[in-house]
Amino acid sequence: MQVVIFAGGLGSRISEESHLKPKPMIEIGGKPILWHIMKSYAHYGFNEFIICLGYKGYVIKEYFMNYFIHNADITVDLSDNSTTIHKDHSENFKITLIDTGHDTKTAGRLKRIAPYIKEDQFMLTYGDGVSDINIHDLVQFHQKHDKIATVSTIQPAGKFGVIEMDENGEVHGFTEKPNSGGSWINGGFFVLNKEVFKYLDGDMDDTMWEEDPMKNLVKDQQLVAYKHHGFWKSMDILRDKVELEAMWKKEPKWKSWQ
């Protein structure tokens, strides 16, 4: 099953780094967050990817075009310009890189990769969020419910800790960033049937996938939610990158691979 990844947005909320590179190329532990997402899928045996490029897409192209040589031990003989590969640390990825337009919104990007989808089912996610979601369970959930689309939902942690106190103001405890009030939000990590493209009819370049397409799937009772109770974090602002970097050094909860 192929995995489609949105990687074309401007990333304006993290412009401290995205003015130089696409947001999916911002590094955590020396590797782009896009690589971390791909490794998570590959851990479950899904290693064929379609990357939706847009803003500074050439950076992503160059990264993967040179990936093998950058992750190998080599000897270069300048006398005859020969190269000997001693040991490589490459990945078993097959990657299709598609320019889906600089300003195209997510529904338009998804529509533009339709010709490259080979099977009746495929997966879709965003290029800026990591999770310890069990992809096998997600796929089985989708197939069991027999709908066109499955969306993974998560309960994000609150921004602030909560003080537990009585009516007299005496503090009894402190909860560090509890989950937000029981609400579930879109966490990405979709599984879709090819029928989804009928919800992308017409010019979709100015339409977000999360707007009319998903709303129409709901209207037709063709969208089901998979509840993920584990780790999930999106890299929206610089603070998120700093937090993910700190996690990587101590306990990267999304790291399922060896």
Give the predicted TM-score (pTM) of the model.
0.90
Which has the closest alpha carbon to 153: 115, 180, 122, 116?
Answer: 180
The mean per-residue pLDDT over the stretch 167-187 comes to: 73
Pairing of strands 48-53, 94-99: parallel
**Residue 50 scores a pLDDT above 80:** yes
Band of the pLDDT at 179, cuts 50, 70, 90?
A: low
Predicted confidence (pLDDT) per residue in 195-253, tens digit? 999 999 999 999 999 999 999 999 999 999 999 999 999 999 999 999 999 999 999 99
Taking the alpha carbons at both ends of the chain, their separation in whole angstroms is 22
Distance CA 24, CA 177 (A): 26
Give me the pLDDT at residue 177, please: 60
**Residue 187 scores a pLDDT above 70:** yes
Band of the pLDDT at 164, cuts 50, 70, 90?
A: confident
The whole-chain average pLDDT of the chain stands at 93
Band of the pLDDT at 178, cuts 50, 70, 90?
A: low
Band of the pLDDT at 160, cuts 50, 70, 90?
A: low
Give me the pLDDT at residue 253, please: 96
**Residue 162 scores a pLDDT above 80:** no
Residues 6+ apart with CB under 8 A from 253: 132, 230, 231, 247
Q: DSSP label at 85?
A: E
Distance CA 134, CA 207 (A): 30
Predicted confidence (pLDDT) per residue in 74-128, tens digit? 999 999 999 999 988 889 999 999 999 999 999 999 999 999 999 999 999 999 9
Burial class (CB in 10 A: 0-12, 13-18, 19+), 194: middle
Judge whether 150 and 190 are in contact, CB under 8 Å.
yes
> Going from the N-terminus, what domains does the chain have, and what CATH number goes with each?
3-155+185-250 (3.90.550.10)
The mean per-residue pLDDT over the stretch 34-54 comes to: 98
Band of the pLDDT at 130, cuts 50, 70, 90?
A: very high
| Tokens 């992308």 found at | 200
Q: What does 154-200 look like in DSSP terms, one character per residue?
A: E-PBPSS-EEEE-TT--EEEEESS-B-TT--EE---EEEEGGGGGGG
Q: How many CB atoms lie within 10 A of CB 69?
A: 12
